[in-house]
Every structure is written in C-alpha cells, then in structure tokens.
A and B are shown apart, each in its own frame.
Chain A
Amino acid sequence: MSLLEVENLSVAFGSETNPFKAVDKISYRVEAGQVLGIVGESGSGKSVSSLAIMGLVDYPGRVSASSLKFDGQDLESLSEKQRRDITGRDIAMIFQEPMSSLNPCFTVGDQIMEALAVHQGGSKKERKAKTIELLQQVGIPAPETRLSAYPHQLSGGMSQRVMIAMAIACDPKLLIADEPSTALDVTIQAQIIDLLLDLQREKNMGLVLITHDLALVAEAAHQVAVMYAGQIVETGTASEIFSTPQHPYTQALLRSLPEYSLGEKRLQALGGVVPGAHDRPNGCLLNPRCPYATDQCRSNEPDLIGTSDRAVKCFYPLNAEGRPAA
C-alpha cells in the first residue's frame, strides 16, 4: 500500500461550461521513505495539485478525484475536522517564500509551539522543550536564544529551517515541499536540500519535492513526474527520465539547460510559451511547440501509457536515441 495514492485528480476554475483546468486528471503514488520529484514550469499546475491534496484549494476552485488515499484512508470521505487532523500532523507542507509563510506578528517559538499544541497537546514546558529539540534538529545554532526571535529578524535560510521545524514537529509521514529552496542563495539552497533529505532518510518520510529545477530533482529524487499545463506527461525513476526521456517535452527541457550545451554557442530552446487559460490547443497540449507533432497529435489527446512506475503521455514516445517511435 502506497503512502499517498492520487488518481485522476483535477482542479478547475472558472465557469462550469468552460472551466480552466489548472490540474487535469493527474495520477501518481508516493511510497514511504521515497522522494518523488514533481517537475514543471510555471503554469504546469504542480503547486495547485499539492494544495488540492492538502485541502487548501478554496472556492472558486473545484477539486475532484477518482481516488485520493493517504495511508489507506480515503481523504475525500473524511469530514472537515478529520481532514484537518491529518493535515499538519501526518501530512505537512513547506512553501517557497519563508519570509511570507511565517506570521510576522508572532515569535518563532510561538509558531512552532502552536503547531504542537494543535496536534499533540502537552504542557507549555513540554512543548518548549520539544521546540528547542526541533530547532536543533534543523540545524539552528543556539536554539534557546532563537525562540523569542521574530521572523523578520532571521535570514532566508534560517526562516526556511524554522518552517521545516514546524512541518516535522508532529512527525509527519509525508512532507510536501513546494519549491523549498528557490528563493535562497545557492550555498544555503544546498544546505536546506541536504537537511530535507537527511530528515527524510532518518524518519523514513515520504517526500514530495516540487520544483522547476531539473538538476535538483536529478540529484535528490527517486521517482520523477514531469508536468506540463496541468497534466503529467511522463513518470519514471530519476535516472530513466534524465538519461532516456520518452516525452518530447522532457527532452526539450533537458536540452534547453545550459549544462546540455556546454561548449556550444547557442542553447537549444523550445519555441513558444506554455498555453494559458484561454489558448489551450486541441489534442495534445504540446502540439504547437512539439517538433515531432503530427495531425494525430493535433486532433486527439494521447493517454498516459505504461506502468505505474514508468509512463508517458504521447502517441510517439521517444526511443533510446531520442527519436519518436515511427
């Protein structure tokens, strides 16, 4: 039994007749102790999908799924209160901007103790001791002195560590990290990712790492899902995806990285832009930009074909040489 099972999750906005599908029937699994990397550019729906799992998508967004199971429990059938018990305790989430994710009016200590109070209870003294322990775990030096610090007094890296401390306070089984290091400097970024991976290994948590940084996912994740305009276009292990990508979009993304064109003058850029709300093409969403598109691609939408571990949403998946199957 997987830790998290998502099947045909959709999030729609706008009118009923012509909805904007921010997330369009995506399915994936996360096992305990495994790191799933969800990669996509802006407009791919990667953040919205994790907000939907946490139950954080408000009106006017509409969430629907064939099945949304966490640890065997069907999340959709739970009441509001039961759902709230799980989120924050068993599933935790950290966000991109640590400066705006922490409440500027409360001290760091207050905010972590609040998380503990809501889910675990305990006396103030117990919670304080646990908070100091958590701050130590996330690598904040002299944690006792930091309890009374306000978020604006901390640097970006420190704030992100506090966020992580809050997230792991109740020993969650699954941690969702939405662009956790994007807003940070490079060396601090490396520290934070190392911290997340260390904690993940120690506690055998499932970790969903959402990012646009392909190289980061290549280094950190076991399984990878690539998203484009609200759909998952390819899944596989990190080494499979990055050495033999099967979807033209994955291939294009990899080729547009500077690392791919070392020594060459120009980068291999994919023309065009991600379709927005009003200009979704018929058929496969990538067809206006795909170098291999045929009439079939322009009129019909491909299914996601393959196994649960390795799948691709394309009529002509690329072979090992990087060319589409005839």
Chain B
Amino acid sequence: MTTQNLTISAPPSPLQEFWHYFSQNRGAVIGLYYVCLIIFLVIFADLVAPHPPYEQYRDALLTPPVWADGGSWRFILGTDDVGRDILSRLIHGARLSMLAGAMVVTLSLTLGIILGLVAGYYRGIVETIIMRVADVMLAVPGLLLAIAIVAILGPNLINASMAIVIVSMPHYIRLTRASTIGELNKDYVVSSRVAGAGALRIMFITVLPNCMAPLIVQATLGFSNAILDMAALGFVGLGAQAPYPEWGSMLANARQFVQSAWWVVTFPGVMILSTVLAFNLMGDGLRDALDPKLKQ
C-alpha cells in the first residue's frame, strides 16, 4: 500500500513566510520603502544631490522653496542663511544620521547580546554583576552622559555615538538574558548538551538564533532613537560640528529664522520626523511578523 505524496511544492522558506506576514501591515511596508529610499540617498548622495552641500551661493541667501514667491527650480527646497542648498544638505545629512544609527545599533547590539547570553547562561554571581551594571547604565540619562563624554573627549560624531551606545546597551542585555533563560530549559538545548556541545556553542549557535526576534525589533527602534539622540546632540552643538550637514545642527542654526524663513527650520525637522517614523513603523511590522503567537 503506497502513500501518495500530495504536496506539490516545498513549503515556503522562512523568508517567504516572513514577507507574507510583514506585507500585511501597510504602514510597515511604507516604512520599509522609505527606509530603502533613505539608504539609496545615502549611497548615491553625490549623484542625486543637485549641489555640493558646502557650496555657498552668495547670490541666493535665504531663497524660499520653489513653490513660494521668489523661489526657483535651482534650489528646490530653498537655501539657508549662507546660501547653501537645503535639499543637498538634507541628502548628505542622511549619511550622518544613518551612520550614527548604524554604529550605535551595531555596537550596542553586539555587546548587549554577548553580555546577555553570558548572564543568562552562567547565572549566579556573573549574572548579578552584569545585571546590576546594566541597571546603573539604565539609570543614567542618555543625553547628559553624552554631554559629559563629549565635553571630556571633544565634540564629534564618534564620541557622541559612544555615549548613546552605553545607554542603549542595557535594553539588549535584558532582552537577551530573558530569552536565554527561557530557551535554556527547552528540550532542544538539552539535546545539544547530550550531544556534547560546550558553553560557547550552546550560547551562540543553539540559543541565540531563537532569541533574535525581539532583538531585531528593539534594534529597529534603537535605530530611530539613535537618530533622535544624534539630532538632539547636534541641536545643542555637541554632535557633528559645522559645516557637516547634520539634521540636528541644521535645526539649531535655523532657530533664528523660524518666523522669517520658515523653510530653513521646517525641512530638517520634517526629515528627522519622517525617518524616525519610518523606522518605528517598520519595527511594528517586524514585531507582528516575527512574533509566533500572533500568527494565524
């Protein structure tokens, strides 16, 4: 008696399955497209931007955007008080924001995962030490720490990022530790142990892939936090220094023009808002797609 094989094609791969759930959330997909656009701008900024970001056009100071009186297609979003094209500066500024975000997330994620895995696996005194240090880091207000570090080491993007890494790490440590403790009790980990796996293999190869879902979601939100923090630091003058076209510094410079030249203030603000929003929407969609309990 033969059994008919009635399945025609292989079941969907995890990536296909993930996309199926992710694409059901329209906001998340829009966020994803926007982020892809930003990444495109980051890579091709030199080609896409109409003008170099540092070039000052003395004949066109504070030009309004193209649709207002006095605007022209030469400067689509207008110029600032020293004649630099705002659109080009925004496009180049994306590089700085994304770079800051990527650096912060990568570092805090890596360090957070390592510490969280070690804390969850070894428990006991090791866990206590790591978690209390994480608690201390959580208790420190991020921006103030950044100001302190930057005041000591000097204001630039790298130093400011270090501060943000320190204050974002505890979230990843906590998440990883909690997931690790949950997964370590499961049968498949015991199977690996019985097969002879050592601590490193169990932590990084067996358990870690099963903890990634909440970490990925947190990382996306961490990205948007990093962008906001960078912008805040730039606003108080402690992030990237002039003439870097960082969005926050652009905002700071433009404070004086809120009433007289609204476009100098508005567009950097809108960029920050929209990028952060896109990342948050994407993070929401990721959480829904990666959380097995929400699946039908």
Complex Cα–Cα for A271 and B4 (A): 10
Contacts of B296 in A (CB 8 A): 60
B1-13 CB mask vs A (1 if < 8 Å, else 0) is 1011011000000
Which B residues touch A291, using CB under 8 A?
A: 1
Among A63-71, A122-130, A272-280, A302-310, the one that faces the other chain is: A272-280
List which B1-57 residues lie within 8 A (CB) of chain A: 1, 3-4, 6-7
Whether B3 and A281, one on each chain, are in contact in the complex, defined by CB atoms closer than 8 angstroms, is no
User: Main SS of the interface on chain B?
Assistant: loop
Which A residues, 253 to 280, have Cβ-Cβ distances below 8 Å to chain B? 271-272, 275, 278-279
Residues of A within 8 A of B3 (CB): 271-272, 288-289
Question: Across the interface, do A271 and B6 meet the contact criterion of CB distance under 8 Å?
Answer: no
CB of A156, distance to nearest CB on chain B (Å): 19
Main secondary structure of the interface of A (DSSP, over half): loop
Report the minimum CB–CB distance from B7 to chain A (whole Å): 6
Q: Which residues of A contact B7 (CB under 8 A)?
A: 278-279
Interface size on A, residues (CB 8 A): 10
Q: For the complex, give the distance between the alpha carbons of A275 and B6 in Å.
A: 9
Residues of B within 8 A of A289 (CB): 1, 3
User: What's the least CB distance linking B1 to chain A, in Å?
Assistant: 5
Q: Give Cα distance in the complex from A272 to B7, angstroms.
A: 13
Complex formed: what's the CA distance from A291 to B296 in Å? 35
Contact partners of B4 in chain A: CB under 8 A:
272, 281, 288
10 tightest A-B contacts by CB? Answer: A279-B6, A272-B3, A288-B4, A271-B3, A291-B1, A279-B7, A288-B3, A271-B1, A281-B6, A289-B3
Residues on B facing A (Cβ under 8 Å): 1, 3-4, 6-7, 296
- 8 other A-B residue contacts (CB within 8 Å) besides A271-B3, A272-B3, A288-B3: A60-B296, A271-B1, A272-B4, A275-B6, A278-B7, A281-B4, A281-B6, A289-B1
Can you list 13 pairs linking A and B with CB atoms under 8 Å apart?
A60-B296, A271-B3, A272-B3, A272-B4, A275-B6, A278-B7, A279-B7, A281-B4, A281-B6, A288-B3, A288-B4, A288-B6, A289-B3
